[in-house]
Amino acid sequence: MFEFTLEKTSEKSKARAGRIVTPHGEIETPIFMPVGTVGSVKGVAPRELDEIGAQIILGNTYHLHLRPGEDTVAHFGGLAKFNSWNKPTLTDSGGFQVFSLAKLNKIGEEGVEFRSHLDGSKLFLSPEKSIEIQQKIGADIMMAFDECVPYPSEKIYVEKSLELTTRWAERCLKAKTRDDQALFGIIQGGVFPDLRRRSAEQICALPFEGFAIGGLSVGEDIPTMYEIADFITDHMPADKPRYLMGVGTPEDLLNGIERGIDMFDCVMPTRNARNALLFTNSGKLHIKAARYRLSDEPVDAECGCYTCRNFSRGYLRHLYKTGELLALKLNSIHNLHFYLSLVKRARNAINNGFFEDFKKEILDKITFGGD
């Protein structure tokens, strides 16, 4: 069972609000998906994710294949049971992680040979293997196995790669045997509009339940990323979910939503939280800074998260400076709450016809990019 219903499209931009129904529950879009690489959103328990407003979390095929192994996850009844989240999940195919984490990868028509980033052992991933693993992991949404080309890359390489990604996409569809999981295709094509268009036409002609834009936020400048996203959504079907992979900052989310994107994932809120960098309604806040030593203010007076309702900046700074585990948890809860609250407010603004004003009001006040 997988359904996407478009509930509202803005009259002033491509922003849209919708609903996805999966076997593990519903997802309101636009949505941000917290990253739980090995099956856990680092430092944050499912009960806390629930309170934050998370609706779907993401796991990685590559990591879960290495540890604990897909058979172990299957033994426990699939990812959502194994980690007791019991709500919608999505697995990335391993395509991206193999290229970004593993060593010495050899790419051929069949698949990718690489060495584990943990012990250097030789491994092989192909479209068939990725689907086999993802079916055992059992997430509600699986991703096609693709090649995410580095930036910058020669146009001829990007072209050959996107054609390979299309052939792999067809093989993923053929390899899929479970009908209780959805499979999304991934559009590649680097920063070349003609190649992006070709990839979109090829991938969106295939019977996927949703479509993702891959290969962005890999080093190109931000205006280029927005231009590509804007251009691509015009070549994607309106009646299927659109997912911008690995993006981004809060302003990237608002800019993506304005360009017709429904789903996002990024390690930024959790990774930054673990580095003491917090997102607030008045900009970024480095909780380590000495100026917060005696601050009895919350991180963000406008935030309703557990962290902001209960703890001062001074205490959070102390936790971080002393290396307390609680610092990582409380910081992560706040940043994830900020992201989930942002997409919730965006959804509400779309449904009530003022998304563009909402976006302007937020971005006029603050910037989240850079450092």
Residues making contact with ligand GUN (CB under 6 A): 92-93, 95-96, 143, 146, 148, 186, 214-215, 245-246
Catalytic residue among 92, 140, 146, 262: 92
Residue ranges in the chain assigned as alpha helix (H): 46-52, 61-66, 70-75, 79-82, 95-100, 127-137, 155-175, 193-204, 222-233, 250-258, 268-274, 306-310, 313-321, 325-351, 355-365
308 binds Zn ion (CB under 5 A): yes
- Contact region with Zn ion (CB under 5 A), list: 146-154, 247-255, 307-315, 319-327: 307-315
Sheet holding 141-143, edge to edge: 31-33, 263-265, 242-244, 210-213, 182-187, 141-143, 89-92, 57-60
Question: Of residues 305, 316, 346, 349, which one binds Zn ion by CB under 5 A?
Answer: 305
Closer to ligand GUN at the Cβ: 48 or 92?
Answer: 92
Q: Which does 33 bind (CB under 5 to 8 A by kind): ligand GUN, Zn ion, none?
A: none
Within 313-352, the residues that bind Zn ion by CB under 5 A are 334
Separation of CA 129 from chain center: 22
Closer to ligand GUN at the Cβ: 215 or 256?
Answer: 215
Separation of CA 120 from chain center: 27
Residue ranges in 234-366 assigned as alpha helix (H): 250-258, 268-274, 306-310, 313-321, 325-351, 355-365
* Three-state DSSP class for residue 186: strand
Closer to Zn ion at the Cβ: 76 or 315?
Answer: 315
Please give the Cα distance from 273 to 290 (Å, whole number): 17
Assess contact for 74 and 39: CB atoms under 8 A: no
Q: Which does 92 bind (CB under 5 to 8 A by kind): Zn ion, ligand GUN, none?
A: ligand GUN
Residues counted in the chain: 371
Catalytic residue among 140, 252, 265, 300: 265
As measured in angstroms, the least distance from the Cβ of 298 to Zn ion is 7
State phi, psi for 141 to the nearest 5 degrees: -125, 125
As measured in angstroms, the least distance from the Cβ of 77 to ligand GUN is 25
Q: Which does 303 bind (CB under 5 to 8 A by kind): ligand GUN, Zn ion, none?
A: Zn ion
Active site residue 265: yes
Closer to ligand GUN at the Cβ: 246 or 256?
Answer: 246
As measured in angstroms, the least distance from the Cβ of 333 to Zn ion is 7
Question: 363 is written with which tokens?
Answer: 């971005």
Nearest residue to 356 via CA among 6, 11, 8, 5: 11
Residue of this chain nearest to ligand GUN (CB atom): 214
Please give the Cα distance from 202 to 235 (Å, whole number): 10
Closer to ligand GUN at the Cβ: 46 or 246?
Answer: 246
Please give the Cα distance from 94 to 236 (Å, whole number): 23
Residue 365's CB is within 10 A of a number of other CB atoms, namely 10
Question: 75 is written with which tokens?
Answer: 């033994």
As measured in angstroms, the least distance from the Cβ of 247 to ligand GUN is 8
Q: Which does 245 bind (CB under 5 to 8 A by kind): Zn ion, ligand GUN, none?
A: ligand GUN
Active site residue 146: no
Closer to ligand GUN at the Cβ: 233 or 307?
Answer: 233
As measured in angstroms, the least distance from the Cβ of 97 to ligand GUN is 8
Q: Which does 148 bind (CB under 5 to 8 A by kind): Zn ion, ligand GUN, none?
A: ligand GUN
Q: Which does 186 bind (CB under 5 to 8 A by kind): Zn ion, ligand GUN, none?
A: ligand GUN
**Residues in contact with Zn ion by the rule CB under 5 A:** 303, 305, 307-308, 334
- Kindly list the catalytic residues: 92, 265
